[in-house]
Chains A and B, each alone.
Chain A
Amino acid sequence: MTGAIGTTGPAGRQPDFQTYVEQAAAAAQLVVQPRMGMSGPAEMAAGLSAVAASRARTAGTITIDSYTRVEDMRSAGAALAAGKPLNGFPIVNHGPHTTARVVDSTGHRIPVQVRHGSARPGHIFEAMVAAGLSASEGGPVSYCLPYSRIPLAEAVPAWVDASQQFAETASARGMRAHLETFGGCMLGQLCPPSLLVAISVLEAVFFARCGLTSVSLSYAQQTHAIQDIEALAALRRLAQEYLPEEVARHVVLYTYMGVYPSTDSGAQLLLDMSAQIAVRGGAERLIVKTAAEAHRIPTVAENITALERVADLGRHARSDECALPWARQVDYGTVYTEASALIQAVLAGDPDPGTALRKAFAAGVLDVPFCLHRDNAGAAQGAIDEDGRLVWAKTGAMPLPARAAARPAVTSTRLLGMLRHTAEAHDRAGALARGGSPYRIAVVGSGPRGLAVAERLSARLAAEQPERAVEISVIDKAEVGAGRIWRTDQDGSFLMNTACGEVTMFSGPSDDGPARAGAGPSLGEWWASTDPDYPGPNSYAPRALYGRYLGFYLDAVESSLPGNATLRRVADEVTAVEWEDQGWRLTLAGGGALRTDRVVLATGHPVTELSGEQAELAAFGAAHPGARYIRGDSAADMPLETIAPGSRVAVLGLGLSFYDVVAALTTGRGGRFEADGRGGLRYLPSGREPELVAGSRSGVPMPARGLNQKRPDWRYRARLFTPERITALRRGGPLDFRDDVWPWLNAEVQLVYYATAVRARYGGEAEQRCLDAATAQILAEGATDAERIARDTAARFGVAEPDRLDVDRLARPFAGLDFTGPEEFTARLTGLLAADIAQARLGNRHGPLKAALDVLRDVRGTIRLAVDYGGLTARSHRRDFLGRFAPLSSFLAAGPPVERLEQLLALMAAGVLDVVGPSARFAADPATGAFTVDSPQVAESLRVCGTLIDARIPGTDLGRDPAPLTRQLTAAGIWVPAVDPADDGPSGAGGVAVTTAPYRPVDLAGSPVDGLYVLGIPTEGRRWFMQVGSTRPGPWTQFTSDADAIAADALAGAADRSRLPALEGERR
């Protein structure tokens, strides 16, 4: 039998039940617990382990089967032998060893309680203690009267013996026995709270007299939330009054135990209410039900969902948003006075609590309404009054105030109505919430950023299943499900800049199920499954292919929405977002409008107005028929097809956009590359190419990315440039990037550079020792000398030859050099590119240079920690960070695949492409009516070009973004340029001012705007490096957690509204 559970390691020890609950309470956490009992050990273990692993503070439950409950172990055994499942765990038949192994499946992170319903529980307690379990429940009254025919005269002594023995045997095994009274339930419904509280306290007193020093007192949710909170308050006070001080105790609430709502939404509302009552009433633990309860036994997954939901709601109930009063705020006088009178009358009957209970029932001092047990007097009735409170209709012989029973007796029709009251009220409220207007969220922009939010919305909706219908609109003016940059109809020669195996959009890996929000393939995995010619995870996908993957992703996101959530695709441009009638109104360029509760603005790359030099060049082009200016934009949006073959074209910029332009005008026009037999490429022109002359400040095309040698889930762990160090530095106020941040970042880069060189020659162990030695010395002497320390350490390890790694030199290799003419410069550039290709082929793990530069990518999150939200002084942000580091890091650490550089060499050799030189100057020449380009450092480099392409992606600048939406939001004071608080001047990058997560815009008055979120490129400046169009497989990156933070906040609104009808229903 035990083999089925598998090995769970050495048997552990259960946490003490009461201590566990006390610790949770001290941390303001409600312990939540399912009802759960499986026949087989493996299933029971799986259930407990799922409860232990859930995202909630839980206690586990083993519920006993009904044969064992009535001491019929023979029938339980027969059923087991015949392979028939029982309705619970037959703890006696399975025996202590198997039971202990089952409990081991929790890792003993949570305590496990045995629930049984037995009027004579001795055999169950014995089996529990033998298995190392010490928490159970029940009571001489609560498990006798409602369900059993056993007389109290038999049940009471049986419970005395069993409880005493339980306390003693548990103690002998070093455990503290814990018993929970079941007296707070009594038939599940229609027993007025004062009697429930009285029986619960009396059973606790009974347990204490039997030697228990750890008890919990139960109360079951009834018909009225505030009355329930009153009852919990009275229960706690009476426990204080009647339990000996040395008996540790807590209060446990049961989610409604009567007739359960038949609709999911009604059941959910009732469950939600119980969590709020528990927290507000001061219960430390809650035993939950699931929405499936009305129809069948819930599955483990349904139980976990309910536990996690209730845990979330419990946290919510501690906030001011919960409309229920706290226990200290309610007047619990009525419940307290009645319960107190009952307890006193019972205890006055006999010094022994067990005997006192028997005498009390015999005399009708305790009389449970509608209880048919022959020891119950049966003269009392409960009823639901016009306020929804549970009150007395008849009190029989109970010592209760006469006014308590001034109500008409209950008829059969009224009884039916009362039995169904709670279920029907919640079904109605649920239907109301469901049928109300849907909760609407608009995502403006369906590039990767916007789609990621849609995915997290879908994943959260599937998990949280809010009552209220949710409608998500995904809006894009270019292509819904891809966006402008990744649209699927673009030239196939435009490639991504990240290897496809490193790219994913899904917030979790694929599993056995279909691709859906939270689980799906990486770009590489998807590509492999759709294309027999898939070139492998280290290849670079065309952007159009990524666009198709994004479309597949959106389909998967839509498919996993729960039934009451929908996703609309809106192909239109949003031109205005305005607050109107308690919601946001989105004006569409096509003439329509959308009304929404929340708006996610993920509008991506702007097409900014030209300014200064660009504007002059454009104006010149417009005025001269022989000159044509093509503005900076995504290459896919440039009118490149209109450029005449053989014409001369100047290209401004040598970055990623440059590579795209070159590809479109060469291979995009039918040219091909073939191997030249010497390890390089040869270009075979189509004859339709123009003649390209390119230049930039550095004069160097962006270097290649190292061949990827890291697994997708590989993560770099910094030694020197750590989040902890940056967090500590930031405590001292705004930082100076050059003096405070850069030395540690550079130190990290140098460390990896030299250590990788050591590994390349002497292996990983030597690398480790080199790293340790250099790290220790740098930490001791400071980061300023890191380069020297790392170099000297590597030399001690026998590696002395690497060139120094100087990032400024890498970015500006031609600074201060002059060339006699284009030939000398081209020869020098060719050598430089060949060297870079060689370095890139060594890879990003084993090649010292590319491994070191990869650090700049790997620690991007830590850089953000230093920089974002005013981390730097305004001056340093402008001068050191935006002016120097940001372009340098993009240039060195975000390059194209190495093939692109090989192609450049071939194009230069074929005479299709020339690089003009460093410090390139692009000018308008009125004499020729065309543009000129030259390099002051290269003699005789001047060329005349009919066309000038600006191959630089425009930066974010609110002031120069002519998009109608940006204009409107800026004019309305909702979008305001981020301003550095340190000097009140613009910090240099003109993005939108936003809060930290969930990234609300900060308006002109300095207040966060509720209901709006801004994500990605529009926030560049306040946040750094937002142009991230995907995440990596493996643990979440900032890309996914950004989207999730917005999704969580956006959905909080849907949940709030769904709770209101329930509250109103309860309070009426």
Chain B
Amino acid sequence: MSREIRKKRIVLSTVSSDSHTWNLVFLQLLLEELGYEVVNLGSCVPDEVLVEAVRTHAPDSVVISSVNGHGHIDGLRVITALRADRNPAVAGVPVMIGGKLGIRGAADSGLADELLAAGFNAVFTEGADPDEFTRELARLASADGLALSEGIAA
């Protein structure tokens, strides 16, 4: 019964170089409205702060949002750090990234494959369908992390 009551927990973050926060504020409200408990790490999150937050809060999923165009660079680095963690709960947490990840808009289509290959479970670039995001989040957050082997690029 207690398993039913406990809300799914999301660690919401951005990447280390990104000081934007309105995207995080919006996502927090959205995720809370969807019934998640949200730990919002705020702006300019250093890699080690994110890894530590995953270790501490043991979230059901990590959502990274970035809009400054450096998401593909910073995102590759932080996912590598997460997946390399010695704690299997940390290394195996479902992680999705979305937003404006490159600086060239539609010309950045190759970035998603690269990020998926590096260990993200899902990548949402500009223009993605918000419903697709929430469905995918629901799937990721309820699944056994270790069973996830492929992500969806929208």
Contacts and interface: CB of A to CB of B under 8 A. Distances in A.
Interface of A: 146-149, 187, 370-374, 410-412, 415-416, 419
Nearest to A419: B22
Contacts of A410: 29
Given A372-B21, A372-B24, A416-B26, A148 B44 contact: yes
A416 B25 CA distance: 10
Contact of B40 (A146, A147, A372, A416): A372
A663 B32 CA distance: 93
Q: Considering the complex of A and B, which 3 residue pairs feature the smallest CB-CB distances, nearest first?
A: A372-B42, A412-B29, A412-B30
A373 B33 contact: no
Contacts of B33: 411-412
A393 to B, nearest CB: 12
Contacts of B109: none
A370 B44 contact: no
A370 B25 contact: yes
A149 B26 contact: no
A147 B19 contact: yes
A411 B29 contact: yes
B42 A374 contact: yes
B19 A373 contact: no
Contacts of B24: 372
B80 interface: no
27 contacts: A146-B21, A148-B19, A148-B44, A149-B42, A149-B43, A149-B44, A149-B45, A149-B46, A187-B22, A370-B22, A370-B25, A371-B21, A372-B21, A372-B42, A373-B42, A374-B42, A410-B29, A411-B29, A411-B33, A412-B29, A412-B30, A412-B33, A415-B25, A415-B26, A416-B26, A419-B22, A419-B26
Given A412-B30, A412-B33, A147 B43 contact: yes
B106 to A, nearest CB: 16
A994 to B, nearest CB: 57
Contacts of B27: 412
Contacts, number: 42
Nearest to B14: A372
Interface of B: 19, 21-22, 24-27, 29-30, 33, 40-46
Contact of A372 (B29, B30, B43, B46): B43
Contact of A370 (B21, B30, B45): B21
A187 B45 CA distance: 18
Contacts of B21: 146, 187, 370-372
A419 B23 CA distance: 11
Nearest to A378: B40
Given A412-B29, A412-B30, 13 more contacts: A146-B21, A148-B19, A148-B43, A149-B46, A370-B21, A370-B25, A372-B25, A372-B43, A411-B29, A411-B33, A415-B29, A416-B26, A419-B22
A152 to B, nearest CB: 14
Contacts of A371: 21
A975 B46 CA distance: 77
A806 to B, nearest CB: 81
Contacts of A370: 21-22, 25
Interface centre among A373, A412, A416 (most CB of B within 10 A): A412
Nearest to B25: A370
Is chain A's interface secondary structure helix, strand, loop, or mixed overall?
loop
Contacts of A187: 21-22
B114 to A, nearest CB: 23
B52 to A, nearest CB: 13
Contacts of A372: 21, 24-25, 40-43
A374 B42 CA distance: 8
A545 B30 CA distance: 72
Contact of A412 (B19, B26, B42): B26
Most buried by A among B27, B44, B45: B44
A1026 B40 CA distance: 75
B48 to A, nearest CB: 12
B104 to A, nearest CB: 13
Contacts of B30: 412
Contacts of B22: 187, 370, 419
A416 B41 CA distance: 20
Contacts of A149: 42-46
Nearest to A414: B29
Contacts of A147: 19, 43-44
A411 B40 CA distance: 16
A416 B27 CA distance: 10
B32 to A, nearest CB: 8
Nearest to A416: B26
A371 to B, nearest CB: 8
B37 to A, nearest CB: 15
A882 to B, nearest CB: 71
Contacts of A411: 29, 33
B95 to A, nearest CB: 20
Nearest to B29: A412
A966 to B, nearest CB: 61
A371 B21 CA distance: 8
A370 B26 CA distance: 9
Residue in B22, B41, B45 with the greatest tally of chain A CB atoms within 10 Å: B22
Contacts of B29: 410-412, 415
A149 B40 CA distance: 13
Contacts of B26: 412, 415-416, 419
Contacts of B19: 147-148
A962 to B, nearest CB: 67
B119 to A, nearest CB: 25
Contacts of B46: 149
A421 to B, nearest CB: 13
Nearest to A374: B42
A117 B65 CA distance: 23
A190 to B, nearest CB: 9
A372 B22 CA distance: 9
Contacts of B25: 370, 372, 415
Contacts of A374: 42
A496 to B, nearest CB: 58
Nearest to B46: A149
A849 B40 CA distance: 90
B103 to A, nearest CB: 11
A415 B30 CA distance: 10
Most chain A beta-carbon neighbours within 10 Å: one of B25, B30, B42: B25
B108 to A, nearest CB: 17
A370 B22 CA distance: 8
Nearest to A146: B21
A42 to B, nearest CB: 26
Contacts of B43: 146-149, 372
A410 B43 CA distance: 21
Contacts of A416: 26
A116 to B, nearest CB: 14
Contacts of B41: 372
A244 B49 CA distance: 43
Specify which of B26, B33, B40, B42 lies most central, judged by the most chain A CB atoms within 10 Å of its CB.
B42
A411 B24 CA distance: 13
A412 B133 CA distance: 15
Contacts of A373: 42
A721 to B, nearest CB: 66
Nearest to B22: A419
Nearest to A410: B29
Contacts of B42: 149, 372-374
Contacts of B45: 149
Contacts of A412: 26-27, 29-30, 33
